Amino acid sequence: MAMQFIQRRFKVYARLIKIQLVEKLTYRTHFFMVFVEYLLIMVVSYFLWKAILAHGRSIKGFTLKDMVTYVAVAGVFRFIINELSGIFWETQRQFQSGDLIMNLIKPIHYQVFLYCRTLGGVLFQLVFRVLPTLVLWALVFGLTPPNHPTLFLLSLLLGAFVYAGIAFLVGLATFYMENSTGVNFAIRTLTEIFSGTLIPLVMFPPWLASIIKYLPFRFIFYQPMQIYFGHLAFHPALIAIGVQALWAIALSLAGILFFQVSIKRLTIQGG
């Protein structure tokens, strides 16, 4: 019985992932435009850091060679962040259209439904954008391999879950305001700055860095990159990943609780 239940659930999750993959493959023009846009941002960032770190200079231990890799990984990670932001947009769309009601009667928690749906898009990004971009970048500009590949990938995966938890919480803000797009934009901006995708957090002024360390944003991208470059040794990296996992779990649980409260409020409003 337990095995049959697991198999049925797995089929449901796999179907959701497949639907999103097929949907992504439908919009080829949009795929190409976004790909070019993000690639241009990466190239501009490369030449900016090349000008800043000319003649063998370094900033806070980061050389030009380091920043070439940093820009590449940050650039392709934006594809993932952009996809995970779909959790917010889908929550808002379904709330405003009323489709949310139909998903509430399905035998799957709404948050899990969104995560599985988004996973299909993430897989699409990995295969058709992330990997080709990294290969192209490595051929043209070069890439430094990670010091701890397994720990880096694990940390990056947890970073994605941290952002997914944040995106879901922001999406639930739609239940309390007519349009929470502004809130989402603010969170995306904070994520871009405080996660380290723009510049390494070590380059921030001390007073700002002291604030960021108490927020979840640095666990989205900067911590994985610390592991990538070996700035965290093996055992400190394991501890950092443990803290990162706690953040991911805490945000997911907060999403579950906030969703239950929000649904009760939605029921009251609906009569």
Report percent pLDDT > 70 for the chain.
Answer: 85
Element (H, E) at 256: helix 234-270
| The predicted structure's pLDDT at residue 268 | 40
Q: What is the pLDDT of residues 154-201, one digit of tens each?
A: 999 999 999 999 999 998 888 887 677 788 888 889 999 999 999 999
Give CA–CA dist 152/147, Å, rounded. Answer: 8
The structure tokens listed for 124 are: 């699409």
| The predicted structure's pLDDT at residue 271 | 42
For residue 225, pLDDT beyond 80: yes
Q: What is the pLDDT of residues 35-87, one digit of tens each?
A: 888 889 999 999 999 999 987 788 988 999 999 999 999 999 999 998 899 89
- Going by pLDDT thresholds of 50, 70 and 90, the confidence category of residue 270 is very low
| The predicted structure's pLDDT at residue 37 | 85
Q: Which of 116, 158, 119 is nearest to 10 (CA)?
A: 116
Q: Which of 42, 33, 37 is nearest to 137 (CA)?
A: 42
Placement of tokens 């139909």 in the chain:
102
For residue 23, pLDDT beyond 60: yes
Greater model confidence, 182 or 150:
150
For residue 222, pLDDT beyond 70: yes
Q: Which of 137, 112, 155, 94 is nearest to 16 (CA)?
A: 112
| The predicted structure's pLDDT at residue 182 | 83
Give CA–CA dist 134/113, Å, rounded. Answer: 30
- Going by pLDDT thresholds of 50, 70 and 90, the confidence category of residue 15 is low
- Going by pLDDT thresholds of 50, 70 and 90, the confidence category of residue 229 is very high
| The predicted structure's pLDDT at residue 38 | 86
Q: Which of 256, 257, 218 is nearest to 112 (CA)?
A: 256
For residue 152, pLDDT beyond 90: yes
Range from 2-11, 51-60, 177-186, 260-269 carrying the lowest mean pLDDT: 2-11
- Which residues face 59 on adjacent strands? 62
Q: Where are the domains of the chain?
A: 2-270
Give CA–CA dist 252/11, Å, rounded. Answer: 23
| The predicted structure's pLDDT at residue 80 | 93
Report percent pLDDT > 90 for the chain.
Answer: 52
What would the mean pLDDT of 236-241 be, rounded to a whole number? Answer: 96
Residues 6+ apart with CB under 8 A from 208: none
Task: Supply φ then ψ for residue 76, to 5 degrees.
Answer: -75, -25
Mean pLDDT of the chain: 86
The pTM assigned to this predicted structure is 0.88
